[in-house]
Structure 1
Amino acid sequence: MGTSWGGTLVGRSSEAARVRGFVSSPGDGGQVLVVTGEPGIGKSALIDSEVDGLRDTGVRVLRAEGSESERALAFAGLHQLLRPVLAQAESLPDRQRDALLGAFGIAAGSAESDQLILRIAVLTLLSHTARRHPVLIVVDDAQWLDQDSLDVLAFVSRRLDGEQIRLLGAVRSGAPLPAFARSHPVLELGPLEASAAGRLLDAQPGPPVGPLRARVLDEAAGNPLALIEFAKLESGPGLWPVEPLPLTDRLEQGFTSRLDGLPGATKRALLLAATGTGTVEGIAPEVWRPAEQAELIRLRGGDVRFRHPLIRSAVYHAAPPAERHEAHRRWAAALRDVPGRRAWHLAAAGTGPDEAVAREMECAAEQTGKRSGFAAAALAFQRAAELSPDEPDRVRRFTRAAAMAALTGQATWAEDLTAQVEALTDDPVQLALIRLHKGQALALTPRRNAAYTLLLRVAETLAPHHPAQALEALAAAALVCYYSGDAGRRDEIRRVYSLIAASPGRRQEHELACLWIRAATDPSADRAGLLAVLRRLAAFEPAGPGLLAAAATIAWLLDETTVAVHLFERMSGPALTPAPLPDGLRCVEGWVCLEHGRWSTARAVAAASTRAAALSDPPFTAAAPRALDACVLALQGDPAAARASAREALDLAAAQENRFVAVRARWAMGTAAAAEGDHDAAFDQFRLMFTTDGDEVHYHVSRYGLADLAAAAARTGRQDAARAVVDRLADRLTNSSSRHRALLFRARALLADADEAEQCFRAALDEPYAEDRPFAHAHTQLDYGEWLRRRLRSGQARPLLAAALETFGRLGAEPWTSRALAELRAAGIRQSPGVSDSLPALTPQQQEIVRLAARGLTNREIGERLQLSPRTVGSHLYRSFPKLGVTARSQLRDLVDGRMPQVAELTQVEAGAGREGRDGPYEHTG
Structure 2
Amino acid sequence: MGPEADAVVGRTGIIGREAEVSRLRAFLTSVRQEGPTTLAVLGEAGSGKSALLKAAAEEASGHDFQVLRCSGHEGERELAFAGLHQLLEPVFRGADDVPAAQRRALLGAFGFGTTDRPTDQAPPERLLINLAVLTLLSEAAVRQPVLLLVDDAQWLDACSLDALAFVARRVLGEPVALLLGVRGDDAPRQFGTDVVQLPVPPLDDKAAEQLLDAQPRPPHGQLKEHILRQAAGNPLALVELARATARSRPLSLAGSAEALPLTARLEKVFAERLEVLPEETRRVLLFAAAADAPDVPAALLAASAASATDAWSVAEEAGLVRLESGRVAFRHPLMRSAVYGAASFAARRKVHLALADVLGGDPDRRAWHMAAATLVPDEEIAAALEETAGRARRRGGYRVAAAALERAAELSPEGGQRARRLLDAIELAMNAGEPLWVEKLAGGVVSATDDEAMLMSAKLWTGWALAATTRQKAALSHLLPLAEDVVRESPVMALTAVGHAAFVVYSTGDDTYRRQMLDLLARIPCDAGRDFDQVWTRASCDPFGARGTALELLRSCLAEPDRQVYQLTILGGAAWVLDETATAIRLLGTAAEHLQAVATVGSNATLGQALALAQFEAGAWEAAWASAEDARRVAAENGLEMAGRSAMFVGAALLALRGEAADARKLIDQAVAGVDPAESRALGVRARWVRAMLAGVEGHHPLEYELLRGLFTIGPEPQPVHYHASYYAIGDLAAAAVRVGKQDDAAEVVDAVRRQLEGRMSPRVLLLVRRAEAVLADDEKAEDLFGAALRDPAGEAWPFERAVVLLEYGQWLRRKRRTSEARTELARALTVFEQLGARPYVERAAAELRACGVSVRGDDGASRGLERLTPQQLQIARLAATGLTNRQIGERLLLSARTIGFHLYQTYPKLGITNRAQLRDALSSMGAS
Mark yes or no: TM-score above 0.5. Answer: yes
Confirm or deny that 1:602 pairs with 2:589.
Answer: no
The structural deviation recorded for 1:837 is 2.0
Q: Which residue of 2 aligns with 1:809?
A: 834
Deviation at 1:658, TM superposition (A): 2.3
Partner of 1:554: 574
1:853 to 880, 896, 899: 880
Maintained 8 Å contact 1:374/1:407: yes
**Where does residue 449 of structure 2 map in the other structure?**
425
- Range with greater deviation from structure 2 (360-369 or 456-465): 456-465
Amino acid at match of 1:737: S
Matched, 1:829 2:854: yes
Q: Does 1:190 align with 2:240?
A: no
Q: 1:212 to 1:570 in 2, by over 3 A?
A: closer
Q: CA deviation at 1:250?
A: 6.0
What SS does the corresponding residue of 2:300 show, helix, strand or coil? coil
Deviation at 1:482, TM superposition (A): 1.0
Does structure 2 conserve the Cα–Cα contact (< 8 Å) formed by 1:102 and 1:110?
no
Superposed displacement of residue 22, structure 1: 4.4
Counterpart position of 1:287: 311
Structure 2 partner of 1:750: 775
Q: How far does the alpha carbon of each residue in 1:662-713 deviate from its partner, in whole angstroms, 9 at most, with x for none?
A: 2223323333333434434433443443444543222112222222233333
| 3-state SS in 1 of match to 2:329 | strand
Residue of structure 2 equivalent to 1:789? 814
Aligned counterparts of 2:927 and 2:168: Cα–Cα separation in 1: 55
**Mean CA deviation greater in 761-770 or 393-402:** 761-770
Q: CA deviation at 1:593?
A: 1.8
Q: Which moved more, 1:518-527 or 1:32-41?
A: 32-41
Q: Assess, with a 3 A threshold, how the Cα gap between structure 1 residues 789 and 72 changes in structure 2: closer, same or farther.
A: farther
**Structure 1 counterpart of 2:274, from 242, 248, 259:** 259
Most deviating of 248-257 and 275-284: 248-257
What CA distance in whole angstroms lies between the structure 1 residues aligned with 2:184 and 2:832?
50
Q: Does 1:545 align with 2:565?
A: yes
Q: Measure, in 2, the Cα distance between the counterparts of 1:408 and 1:591.
A: 20
2:168 & 2:845 partners in 1: Cα distance? 58
RMSD: 4.3
Q: Which amino acid aligns with 2:771?
A: R
Q: Secondary structure at the match of 1:822?
A: helix
Q: What's 2:540 paired with?
A: 520
Written as runs of structure 1 = structure 2, the 5 A alignment for 1:494-505 is: 494-501=518-525, 503-504=527-528
Q: Give, in angstroms, the shift of residue 324 of structure 1.
A: 0.8
Distance 2:778 2:614 in 1: 34
2:151 alignment counterpart: 140
Match of 1:572 in 2: 592
Query: Mapping of 1:322-401 within 5 angstroms?
Result: 322-336=346-360, 338-401=362-425
What is the Cα deviation at residue 266 of structure 1? 0.9
Q: Rate the CA distance shift 1:641–1:832 in 2: closer, same or farther, 3 A.
A: closer
Is contact 1:455–1:474 with CA below 8 Å preserved after alignment? yes
Return the match for 2:865 from 833, 836, 839.
839
- Which of residues 634, 648, 671 in structure 2 aligns to 1:649? 671
Which amino acid in the other structure matches residue 326 of structure 1?
Answer: K
Contact 1:733-1:744 at 8 Å conserved across structures: no
Distance 1:544 1:528 in 2: 25
> Which residue number corresponds to residue 3 of structure 2?
none
Counterpart of 1:660, as a letter, is: A
CA spacing shift, 1:273–1:477, aligned 2, 3 Å:
same
2:48 maps to 42
| CA shift digits 1:180-213 (9 cap, x unpaired) | 8855665534156464254244x04xx7789766
- Structure 2 residue aligned with 1:232, among 238, 244, 248? 244
Describe the superposition over 1:561-598 as per-residue Cα deviations: whole angstroms up to 9, x where unpaired. 22222223333349999996643443101111222233
Which piece of structure 1 moves more, 754-763 or 394-403?
Answer: 754-763
Q: Which residue does the alignment assign to 2:287?
A: 272
Q: Do 2:539 and 2:546's aligned partners in 1 also have CA atoms closer than 8 Å?
A: no
Would you say the 8 A contact 1:197–1:222 is kept in 2? no
Gapped runs of 5+ residues in structure 1?
A: 903-926
Q: Which amino acid aligns with 2:355?
A: W
Give SS of 2:755's match.
helix
- The 8 Å contact of residues 210 and 411 in structure 1, kept in 2 or not, is answered as no
Is the Cα contact below 8 Å between 1:733 and 1:740 reproduced in 2? no
Instruction: Describe the shift of the 1:825–1:370 C-alpha distance in structure 2 as closer, same or farther (beyond 3 A).
Output: farther
Deviates more, 1:696-705 or 1:792-801: 792-801
Superposition deviation, residue 316 in structure 1: 1.3
- Other structure's SS at 2:376 match: coil
Q: Are the equivalent residues in 2 in contact too, given 1:586–1:605 (CA < 8 A)?
A: yes
Which residue in the other structure is 1:663 paired with? 685
Q: 1:658/1:879 Cα in 2 relative to 1: closer, same or farther (>3 Å)?
A: closer
Could you tell me how far 1:21 is from its partner in structure 2?
5.8
**CA offset digits 1:55-83 (Å, max 9, x no partner):** 45645434343433445566655554454
Deviates more, 1:866-875 or 1:260-269: 866-875
8 A Cα contact 1:35 1:186, kept in partner: yes
Structure-to-structure mapping, 1:54-73, within 5 angstroms: 55=61, 58-71=64-77
Say whether residues 1:819 and 2:844 are aligned partners: yes
State how far apart, in whole Å, the 1-side matches of 2:596 and 2:837 are.
Answer: 16
Change (3 A) 1:720 1:493: same
Flag the 1:728–1:655 CA change in 2: closer, same or farther, 3 A. Answer: closer
Provide the rounded CA distance (Å) in 2 between the counterparts of 1:479 and 1:848: 32
SS state at 2:855 partner: strand
683-692 or 772-781, which deviates more? 683-692
Describe the superposition over 1:135-173 as per-residue Cα deviations: whole angstroms up to 9, x where unpaired.
555443444455666677678778998876666554445
Unaligned runs of at least 5 residues, structure 2: 1-5
Deviations 1:720-747 (A, max 9, x none): 4444433332334553111111222223
Report the counterpart of residue 90 of structure 2 in structure 1.
84
Amino acid in the other structure paired with 1:447: R
**What is the distance in 2 between the residues matched to 1:154 and 1:761?**
83
Q: Tell whether 2:16 aligns with 1:12.
A: yes
Q: Which letter maps to 2:728?
A: Y
8 Å CA contact retained: 1:689, 1:702: yes
Partners of 2:221 and 2:637 within 8 A in 1: no
Q: Which moved more, 1:153-162 or 1:670-679?
A: 153-162
Kindly tell me: are residues 879 and 421 of structure 1, through their superposed partners in 2, closer, same or farther at Cα, counting changes over 3 Å?
A: closer
2:734 aligns with 710
Of stretches 469-478 and 401-410 in structure 1, the one that deviates more from structure 2 is 401-410
Moved more, 184-193 or 534-543: 184-193
Offset, 1:836: 4.3
Indicate if the aligned counterparts of 1:501 and 1:514 stay in contact, CA closer than 8 A.
no
Q: How many residues align?
A: 890
Structure 2 residue matching 1:351: 3-state secondary structure = coil
User: Could you say which residue in structure 2 is the equivalent of 1:128?
Assistant: 142
Deviation at 1:559, TM superposition (A): 1.2
Cα offset, 1:865, TM superposition: 7.0
Change (3 A) 1:654 1:540: same
Flag the 1:217–1:186 CA change in 2: closer, same or farther, 3 A: closer
Equivalences for 1:618-767 in 2 at 5 Å? 619=641, 621-654=643-676, 657-693=679-715, 694-734=718-758, 735-767=760-792
For residues 254 and 217 of structure 1, do their structure 2 counterparts lie closer, same or farther at Cα, with a shift above 3 Å needed?
closer
Write out per-residue CA displacement over residues 198-248 of structure 1, whole angstroms, 9 at most, x where no aligned residue: 4244x04xx778976665555445544334434335536997643313334
8 Å CA contact 1:545–1:580 kept in 2: the answer is no
Q: Deviations over 1:590-646 (max 9, x none)?
A: 111222233333232233223323332575543223223222222232222221121
